[in-house]
Chains A and B, each alone.
Chain A
Amino acid sequence: NAGVTQTPKFQVLKTGQSMTLQCAQDMNHNSMYWYRQDPGMGLRLIYYSASEGTTDKGEVPNGYNVSRLNKREFSLRLESAAPSQTSVYFCASSEAWQGNEQYFGPGTRLTVT
């Protein structure tokens, strides 16, 4: 099992460009999440999908959109990148929407210039 995979590993964008971060899990988990991690701020939830077909905003959703393509895949889109979105992005998944630990992907380091 690969667990949670993310692509790309690194990305540099210019302000105003768009891109999609891809995430897939092979653990048959129902719930998936997108976080960003900034220095000194821990992990902050951007969007989550409690189950296939549903998505909800987290703590910092502005400037992002998500798609739960199927049970395995959950993508994060930046429509018009801004320097404030420079961060490390982690995708995670969990078996159920309550009471289960989350498994994290390796992260995408995004720089917006």
Chain B
Amino acid sequence: EDKVVQSPLSLVVHEGDTVTLNCSYEVTNFRSLLWYKQEKKAPTFLFMLTSSGIEKKSGRLSSILDKKELSSILNITATQTGDSAIYLCAVEGIQGAQKLVFGQGTRLTINP
């Protein structure tokens, strides 16, 4: 059974700190790993990592895929209060249709 585990489940830091969120997975025939940010409502897409694109960066956010360790990290530098959210990791395997398996999420709180 495919499985995605995120850590930590909850994290509280001060504005300006750098944070690293972790995601490990077990999936049959890995295709891609995705990161989403969820504030009050719908998850919004951040990054997709694949075998051909193991590193992505957008502003203060960056993510790396380690296929050997079956894991990914999401880094946020110079955090701001607007980064407070739940960060979700999801993995897609080749199962005949696109089905994402999500982790539990990491709740990140940035205090001013």
Minimum C-beta distance from B41 to chain A (A): 5
Identify whether the interface residues of B are mostly helix, strand, loop, or mixed: strand
Docked-complex contact A94 and B98, CB < 8 angstroms: yes
Number of A-B contacts (CB under 8 A): 63
Give the size of the chain B interface in residues (CB under 8 angstroms). Answer: 26
Docked-complex contact B99 and A48, CB < 8 angstroms: yes
Interface string of A102-113 (1 = CB under 8 A from B): 111111000000
Minimum C-beta distance from B47 to chain A (A): 9
Docked-complex contact B41 and A106, CB < 8 angstroms: yes
Q: Is A96 an interface residue (CB 8 A)?
A: yes
Interface residues of A, Cβ cutoff 8 Å to B: 4, 31, 35, 40-45, 48, 50, 56, 58-59, 90, 94, 96-107
